[in-house]
Amino acid sequence: MKISNTRENLLATNADLAGSSFTNVNLRGTTFADVNLSQSEFTDINFSGAKFTNVNLTAVEIRDCDLNGFRIEGIPVFDLMRVYEEKGNAG
């Protein structure tokens, strides 16, 4: 599935969207629950306030995206990135 230049709200539940491409899309406040997004690409996306619960993000590429307020399993993505970077620098 290819989604581009979209500003509508999106709610995805119990879906297989593996290999999808999202470009220039506003996913602000979007909810993904029980969704397979493996091997998908996100470019120039506004993820502000997006919530991902039980989502497969294996091999996902995220480029040039606003991650402010974006949560995965209730945890802010910025916190996940900070912990990942701290572990990488501690090694």
pLDDT in tens, 42-67: 999 999 889 999 999 999 999 999 98
User: To which residue do tokens 């970077």 refer?
Assistant: 85
Residue 66 is given by DSSP the state B
Enter the pTM of the model: 0.81
| 16 neighbors 39 (Cβ within 8 angstroms) | no
Residue type, 80: L
- What the block records as the tokens of 86 is 């701290």
Give the pLDDT score at 78: 85
What residues form DSSP beta bridges with 3?
22
DSSP 3-state of 75: strand
